[in-house]
Amino acid sequence: MTYNDCKDLTDKDVASICDKARSPGGLIARGGRGAQANQLVADHGVKVGFIQEKNLRQARFFIFHHHRIQRDFDPDNVTLEQMRNYWNSRFDLEKECSKSDSTSDDIKPLKKEDDVRTTLENLDNVLLNKLEWSWWIPTCLCDQGGCHIT
């Protein structure tokens, strides 16, 4: 399992992983010395406590949130404090991202030449002023019998 696999998990998946680690089932060799070293016994798994499961859920959310906002995840620069801050504000973060992801306004087709011109001017203002894309200067040929961007 890699860090990229965590972005697709949910809290329920993390709980299932921890449950499987606690009681994986199957048989394992007893180990030790003597004649009974190779005898098979039930696999009792490992102890995974509530704190470890919660830390894993926090790490999963941190990785998921970084993927959602298109940031690279670097495990060397992550602290437990950062994960806890994101975890404590997760409902606000999810609400904020779901607002920006929602498409409640249907996209309406541009029916008038003025709509096209206004849209291009708005796009031009955003690109030139906010994003400083000085190379993007669309030319609208609406006056010459059709609307084409060159």
Give how far Cα 23 sits from Cα of 40, 54, 92, Å: 16, 18, 35
Instruction: Tell me if 27 sits within 8 A of 38, measured CB to CB.
Output: no
More confident of the two residues 3 and 142: 3
DSSP character string of 97-127: HHHHH---SPPPP--SHHHHHHHHHHHHHII
Output the pLDDT for position 67: 85
* pTM greater than the 0.85 cutoff: no
Say whether pLDDT at 139 is over 70. Answer: no
More confident of the two residues 16 and 25: 16
CA atoms of 45 and 43, how far apart (whole Å): 6
Kindly report, residue by residue over 35-77, the tens digit of the pLDDT. 777 888 888 888 889 999 998 888 888 888 888 888 888 888 8
Instruction: Tell me if 141 sits within 8 A of 147, measured CB to CB.
Output: yes
Return the domain boundaries, the chain: 3-101, 113-144
